[in-house]
């Protein structure tokens, strides 16, 4: 059996994501008949059905779901190899660091200072501030060399080191019925709408809604609401705060993030048993870059000078 080509994997990803041959062909900029033929040839060469087709719908088979998962990794790896090769050949290479706003727990400036002081031969750092979900995508496709990420994230193909673990607080409208309480439990918020983050995977969605296995203060699981009502779709902390202030939802944010966004129309309250937020430094597991290693060492040293578990009790 001959190996699958990157072009074929791109075809399959488009069809698997759209679950519609016409939309996939339009997305790829090609006609539908050759796309259908290409998928059929892939199935013939692999000896398995990837898609179940009827006149009404297209569905992935179990083999198709596996291939979609692996195809995304493979295509990202090919794109990353090309991007990293081009960047390595530039006359003045740089270390590209990706981070989302508030995703560094206030450590980034110190890390950059420590990195710059680690050696004159290291390439200068270039920080790219990206939207939610973008830093990890930049690591995978070669646009970034290293990133500061918040848990949870898909760590496949990455190495990482935890820098800071901090509690998350409930984000409430200032006039909310619970805003006067000093401390909450996840069960107190049962029935409250919670914002959905755009593009969040199921595990990430469970984390953002407080349904990821949080425990009550007595150590018994199950205090978190099983299925909170869906709040508005958000793509940034600023947008999240606006929908909360308007009374459209409640939310959860890391302690360091709440300290950056103080507003009179928002109340932050500690939540007993809510899973914490971890800030990690991550890089491709195949990286052999001395600059990446130096940045990771700098991040570790800076984090060691800060408390590992930031307390919400005094907040």
Fold type of domain 93-162+277-304: D-Maltodextrin-Binding Protein; domain 2 (3.40.190)
C-alpha to C-alpha distance for 171 and 250, rounded to whole angstroms = 6
What digits encode the pLDDT tens for the residues 243-263? 999 999 999 999 999 999 999
Give ranges for CATH 1.10.10.10 in the chain. 6-84
What digits encode the pLDDT tens for the residues 162-179? 999 999 999 999 999 999
pLDDT band at 63 (very low <50, low <70, confident <90, very high): very high
- The stretch 255-277 carries a mean pLDDT of 94
Fold type of domain 6-84: Arc Repressor Mutant, subunit A (1.10.10)
Comparing 247 with 77, the larger pLDDT belongs to 247
Other beta carbons within 10 angstroms of residue 260's beta carbon come to 13
pLDDT band at 205 (very low <50, low <70, confident <90, very high): confident
Q: Is 123 in contact with 137 (CB distance < 8 Å)?
A: no
| pLDDT score for 307 | 60
**Which residues fall within 8 angstroms of residue 213, CB to CB, at 6 or more apart?**
221, 224, 275
Query: What is the average pLDDT score of the chain?
Result: 87
C-alpha to C-alpha distance for 151 and 281, rounded to whole angstroms = 11
**Which residues fall within 8 angstroms of residue 230, CB to CB, at 6 or more apart?**
193, 194, 196
| pLDDT score for 93 | 84
C-alpha to C-alpha distance for 53 and 33, rounded to whole angstroms = 15
Return the sign of the alpha-carbon dihedral for residues 189, 193, 198, 199: positive
* Helix, coil or strand: residue 126: strand
C-alpha to C-alpha distance for 281 and 145, rounded to whole angstroms = 11
C-alpha to C-alpha distance for 310 and 315, rounded to whole angstroms = 10
| pLDDT score for 83 | 80
Domain at 168-270: CATH code? 3.40.190.10
Comparing 280 with 102, the larger pLDDT belongs to 280
Beta bridge partner(s), residue 168: 254
pLDDT band at 213 (very low <50, low <70, confident <90, very high): low
Q: Is 59 in contact with 15 (CB distance < 8 Å)?
A: no
Q: Could you tell me the pTM of the whole model?
A: 0.73
- The stretch 187-211 carries a mean pLDDT of 84
| pLDDT score for 215 | 46
Comparing 114 with 132, the larger pLDDT belongs to 114
| pLDDT score for 221 | 37
Give ranges for CATH 3.40.190.10 in the chain. 93-162+277-304, 168-270
Q: Is the pLDDT at 230 greater than 90, yes or no?
A: no
C-alpha to C-alpha distance for 275 and 210, rounded to whole angstroms = 7
């Amino acid at each position: 059996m001959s190996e699958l080509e990157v072009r074929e994997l791109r075809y399959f990803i488009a069809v698997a994501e759209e679950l519609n041959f016409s939309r996939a062909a339009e997305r790829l900029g090609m006609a539908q008949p050759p796309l259908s033929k290409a998928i059929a040839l892939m199935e013939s060469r692999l000896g398995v059905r990837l898609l179940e087709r009827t006149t009404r719908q297209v569905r992935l088979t179990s083999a198709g779901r596996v291939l979609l998962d692996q195809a995304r990794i493979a295509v990202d790896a090919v794109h990353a190899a090309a991007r990293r090769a081009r960047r390595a050949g530039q006359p003045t290479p740089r270390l590209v660091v990706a981070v989302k706003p508030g995703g560094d727990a206030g450590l980034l400036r110190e890390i950059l200072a420590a990195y710059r002081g680690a050696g004159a031969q290291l390439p200068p750092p270039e920080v790219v501030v990206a939207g939610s979900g973008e830093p990890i995508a930049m690591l995978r496709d070669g646009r970034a060399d290293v990133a500061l990420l918040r848990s949870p994230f898909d760590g496949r193909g990455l190495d990482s080191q935890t820098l800071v673990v901090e509690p998350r607080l409930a984000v409430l409208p200032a006039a909310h019925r619970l805003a006067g309480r000093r401390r909450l439990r996840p069960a107190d918020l049962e029935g409250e709408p919670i914002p959905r983050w755009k593009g969040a995977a199921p595990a990430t969605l469970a984390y953002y809604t407080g349904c990821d296995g949080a425990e009550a203060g007595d150590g018994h699981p199950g205090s978190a609401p099983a299925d909170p009502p869906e709040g508005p779709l958000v793509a940034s902390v600023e947008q999240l705060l606006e929908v909360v202030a308007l009374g459209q939802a409640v939310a959860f944010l890391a302690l360091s993030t709440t300290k950056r966004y103080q507003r009179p129309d928002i109340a932050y309250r500690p939540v007993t048993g809510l899973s914490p937020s971890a800030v990690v430094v991550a890089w491709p597991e195949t990286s052999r870059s001395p600059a990446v290693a130096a940045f990771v060492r700098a991040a570790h040293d800076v984090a060691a000078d800060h408390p590992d578990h930031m307390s919400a009790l005094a907040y």
